[in-house]
């Protein structure tokens, strides 16, 4: 059993800590809003008053935050996570952020005597709870090998992809596919609906057809009814698509379907749906098609 720290106890981070506690690990956690972590404290998670404190008490400290700016907010400063690191410790960042920024952060982590891997995940809250989450990891191989047993307690599929930053490149490649698949799914549903097929019937057929990826199966029904709380909202998905478009520009890789999907997310924000699950692209396309929700 490992002595772990965890910074960022939102929907995904909180459920990861819940799994780690259920596996018998000791977890000391920090979240900007303590009340959102109370359910984990009630389950035995130890509370830290700062990212520094979470890192100082742990052999391996994880983070799961929303973007590059949020990562800087929890790592920098006198109470930041870096201030709690030291020789032999490992920082495992599960956030989806700029690969370039992550590589730069890894260099700063090593200046403390610790080491860092980037280990973003692929999957939803549902796949996490069901124990089906996929994890990608980048960094020094020996550091990855040390963290692997803990990562396997979070998700059963863990893939080492190479040096620092490369797991983030892989995660960005995955997430651009989520958006483009969802938009194509919406097109299919609306084409069927406008030609006389009930929306629910079209969703049922498509989610049981050859195009039914795991994402389509669990998110496709959202075109019928949005979940009470977004699993992955428009702002979060657009952040990842913008990372993809920037990486594509730097790598001379054209990403035409990513660019189109990004415009639909911009339209969704313009329509006031920024906090809806990104499946709300359906509503944007429906409005353009003259179909009411």
> Looking at residue 195, what is its pLDDT?
96
CA-to-CA distance for 102 and 78, rounded, in angstroms?
20
Domains of the chain, earliest start first = 3-164 (3.40.50.720), 169-288 (1.10.1040.10)
Provide block-wise average pLDDT over 10 residues at a time, the chain (293 residues): 91 94 96 94 97 96 95 96 96 96 97 97 82 92 97 95 97 95 97 96 95 90 89 94 96 97 98 96 94 76
> Looking at residue 293, what is its pLDDT?
66
> Looking at residue 229, what is its pLDDT?
84
């Amino acid at each position: 059993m490992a002595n772990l720290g965890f910074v960022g106890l939102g929907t995904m981070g909180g459920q990861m800590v819940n799994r780690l506690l259920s596996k018998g690990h000791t977890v000391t956690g920090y979240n900007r809003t303590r009340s959102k972590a109370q359910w984990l404290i009630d389950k035995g998670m130890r509370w830290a008053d700062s990212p520094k404190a979470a890192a100082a008490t742990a052999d391996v400290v994880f983070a799961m935050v929303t973007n590059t700016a949020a990562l800087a907010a929890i790592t920098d400063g006198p109470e930041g996570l870096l201030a709690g690191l030291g020789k032999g410790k490992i920082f495992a960042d599960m956030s989806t952020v700029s690969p370039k920024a992550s590589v730069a952060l890894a260099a700063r982590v090593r200046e403390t005597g610790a080491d860092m891997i980037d280990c973003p995940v692929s999957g939803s809250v549902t796949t996490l709870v069901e124990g089906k989450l996929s994890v990608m990891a980048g960094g020094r191989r020996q550091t990855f090998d040390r963290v692997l047993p803990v990562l396997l307690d979070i998700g059963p599929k863990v893939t080492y992809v190479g040096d620092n930053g490369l797991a983030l490149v892989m995660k960005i490649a995955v997430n651009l596919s989520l958006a483009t698949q969802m938009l194509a799914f919406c097109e299919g549903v609306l084409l069927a609906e406008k030609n006389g097929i009930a929306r629910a019937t079209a969703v049922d057929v498509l989610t049981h057809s050859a195009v039914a990826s795991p994402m389509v199966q669990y998110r496709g029904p959202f075109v019928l009814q949005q979940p009470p709380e977004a699993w992955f909202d428009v702002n979060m998905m657009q952040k990842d698509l913008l990372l993809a478009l920037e990486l594509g520009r730097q790598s001379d890789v054209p990403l035409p379907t990513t660019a189109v999907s990004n415009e639909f997310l911009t339209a969704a924000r313009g329509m006031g749906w920024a906090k809806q699950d990104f499946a709300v692209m359906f509503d944007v396309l429906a409005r353009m098609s003259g179909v009411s929700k």
